[in-house]
C-alpha cells in the first residue's frame, strides 16, 4: 500500500520524524489496540493453569503490560549504542508477551510454578543474547522450513487450549455447557466477520471488539464476577521477585530452545518492518542489537514477573500498510501500555473476562499461527526430503505429547522437556533431520 499522505505529515514517514501530538496519538492507539489482547491473554492462560489467586493473576497481567512497554522502548530507543554494539534494534516495532511460549509455560506451570517459568526465562534470555552476538553463524541452522515447522507445531499445540476455553475452562463447574458454547461461537463469529468484511479500525481491532461483545453477552448469563475489580487498587508499581525465581534444569532447556527459535524468528519481523516501512533490509547491527536487546530485556522482565516477550507480527503488518515509522508513535504506544499496566483496576477487569469469551476470540489467532507456519514451510520445495523433515517432526512432537503415558517410565526431566509441549521435540527433530538428510537437487 502506498503512503497514506492525505492529511498526514511527511514526518510520520521518517524514523526520527518530529510528529505532532494530534498525529501521533491516534496512530499510537492503533498499535495498542492491535496488541493489547495478545499481550494479556498468555498471562491469563498461565495464571489459570498455575492456579494463581485473583490478586496474583492481576499482578501477572500488570507485569505483562508494564514489561511489554519497557521492552518496546528498549527496541525503539537502543541502549549503549556504540559503533556496532547496541541493546535494541532502533526499529519501529512493538513487543509483547508471546503465544509461542504458552504451550511450554502451561506445562511448566502445571508441573511446577510461575517461579520456574521465570527462572527458565532468564536462561532463555542468555541464550538469546548468545544468538544475537553470533547471529550470522547460527542463522543457517534455521531456514524457513525449520522455523515454519516450529511455528506450525506451536499453532497446533494451542488448539486444545482454545477449545477448552470455548467450553468454559476445564476447571469450571459449567464446563461444556450450552451457554459457554453459545457465547464462544458468537464471539468467534463477530471476530471472523470483522476480519473478512471490516475495514480500518473495525478490521484492526476485530479481536478486541469480539471480546467486548462476548463480554457483554456473558453478563446476561451471570458469568462475570467483579469482586476482584472492587478490591484492586488504582495505582501500583511492578513488584520485583513477587513470584520468586527457580532454576529447574529441564524447564530451562525447554524454554531455552524456544528462545533460540524465537530469536531467529525475530529476524523475519525485523526484516518485514524495514522492507514494509523503510524499503530496505535490516542491517547486521540492527538484527544483532535487536536480538541482544530481546534477550537482556527478558532477563529484566523475569525479575519483575513479566512472561517472555517477542516482536508482534500484527504491529509489523500495520507498519507495512501505513508506512508510518516515526519513533514517536511507537514510544507513545509504549507509554500508553505502561500506564495501563500501572493501573491494577484495569488489569483486574481483564481477569473477569470469561474463558468462553477468550476461547472464541483466540481460536482464530491460534489458527493464524498454524497457517503462518504452513506459509513458511511452503517457501521451500515440498519434495520427499522436506516433507519428511516436516512430517516426522510434527508427528513425533504432537504424537508423544498427546499419548499421555508415552514417557511414563522415563525420568521426570525427560517428560518435562519432551512430553509436555510438542514444540521442543518438533524443533530438535526438524533441525536434526535437516542436517542429516541428503539435500535434494531442488533444495
pLDDT tens digits, one per residue of 395-432: 988 888 777 677 777 777 777 777 667 777 888 899 89
User: Quick one: pLDDT at residue 85?
Assistant: 62
Q: Which of 103-107, 156-160, 407-411 has the lowest mean pLDDT?
A: 407-411
Q: Is 50 helix (H, G, I), strand (E, B) or coil?
A: coil
Residues 229-251, buried b or exposed e (16+ Cβ, 10 A)? Answer: beebeeebebeeebbebbebebb
On whether the pTM is more than 0.85, the answer is no
Contact 70, 55 (CB under 8 A): no
Cα distance between residue 230 and residue 351, in whole Å: 12
Residue 322 has pLDDT above 80, yes or no: no
pLDDT band at 442 (very low <50, low <70, confident <90, very high): low
pLDDT tens digits, one per residue of 256-313: 988 988 887 787 778 777 877 777 777 878 888 999 999 999 999 999 989 999 887 7
Which H/E stretch holds residue 96?
A: strand 95-97
Residue 443 CB-density burial (10 A; 0-12 exposed, 13-18 middle, 19+ buried): middle
Amino acid at each position: 500500500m502506498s503512503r497514506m499522505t492525505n492529511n498526514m505529515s511527511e514526518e510520520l514517514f521518517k524514523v526520527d520524524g518530529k510528529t505532532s501530538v494530534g498525529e501521533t496519538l491516534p496512530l499510537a492507539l492503533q498499535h495498542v489496540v492491535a496488541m493489547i489482547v495478545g499481550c494479556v491473554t498468555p498471562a491469563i492462560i498461565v495464571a489459570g493453569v498455575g492456579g494463581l489467586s485473583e490478586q496474583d493473576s492481576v499482578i501477572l497481567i500488570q507485569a505483562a503490560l508494564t514489561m511489554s512497554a519497557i521492552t518496546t522502548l528498549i527496541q525503539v530507543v537502543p541502549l549503549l549504542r556504540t559503533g556496532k554494539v547496541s541493546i535494541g534494534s532502533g526499529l519501529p516495532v512493538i513487543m509483547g508477551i508471546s503465544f509461542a511460549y504458552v504451550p511450554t509455560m502451561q506445562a511448566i506451570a502445571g508441573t511446577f510454578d510461575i517461579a520456574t517459568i521465570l527462572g527458565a526465562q532468564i536462561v532463555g534470555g542468555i541464550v538469546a543474547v548468545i544468538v544475537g552476538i553470533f547471529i550470522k553463524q547460527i542463522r543457517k541452522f534455521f531456514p524457513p522450513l525449520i522455523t515454519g515447522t516450529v511455528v506450525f507445531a506451536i499453532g497446533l499445540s494451542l488448539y486444545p487450549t482454545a477449545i477448552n476455553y470455548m467450553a468454559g475452562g476445564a476447571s469450571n463447574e459449567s464446563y461444556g455447557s450450552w451457554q459457554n458454547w453459545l457465547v464462544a461461537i458468537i464471539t468467534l463469529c463477530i471476530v471472523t466477520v470483522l476480519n473478512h468484511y471490516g475495514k480500518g479500525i473495525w478490521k484492526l481491532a476485530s479481536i478486541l471488539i469480539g471480546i467486548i461483545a462476548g463480554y457483554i453477552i456473558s453478563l446476561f448469563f451471570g458469568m462475570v464476577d467483579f469482586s476482584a475489580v472492587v478490591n484492586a487498587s488504582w495505582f501500583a508499581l511492578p513488584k520485583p521477585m513477587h513470584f520468586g525465581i527457580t532454576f529447574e534444569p529441564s524447564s530451562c532447556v525447554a524454554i531455552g530452545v524456544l528462545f533460540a527459535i524465537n530469536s531467529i524468528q525475530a529476524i523475519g519481523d525485523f526484516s518485514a518492518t524495514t522492507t514494509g516501512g523503510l524499503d530496505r533490509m535490516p542491517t547486521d547491527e540492527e538484527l544483532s542489537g535487536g536480538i541482544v536487546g530481546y534477550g537482556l530485556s527478558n532477563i529484566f522482565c523475569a525479575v519483575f514477573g513479566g512472561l517472555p516477550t517477542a516482536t508482534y507480527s500484527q504491529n509489523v503488518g500495520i507498519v507495512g500498510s501505513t508506512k508510518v515509522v516515526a519513533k514517536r508513535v511507537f514510544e507513545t504506544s509504549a507509554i500508553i501500555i505502561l500506564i495501563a499496566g500501572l493501573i491494577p483496576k484495569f488489569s483486574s477487569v481483564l481477569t473477569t473476562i470469561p474463558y468462553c469469551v477468550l476461547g472464541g476470540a483466540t481460536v482464530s489467532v491460534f489458527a493464524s499461527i498454524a497457517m503462518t507456519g504452513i506459509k513458511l514451510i511452503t517457501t521451500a520445495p515440498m519434495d520427499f526430503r522436506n516433507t519428511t523433515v516436516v512430517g516426522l517432526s510434527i508427528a513425533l512432537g504432537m504424537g508423544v505429547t498427546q499419548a499421555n503415558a508415552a514417557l511414563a517410565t522415563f525420568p521426570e526431566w525427560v517428560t518435562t522437556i519432551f512430553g509436555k509441549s510438542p514444540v521442543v521435540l518438533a524443533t530438535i527433530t526438524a533441525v536434526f533431520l535437516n542436517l542429516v538428510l541428503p539435500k535434494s537437487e531442488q533444495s
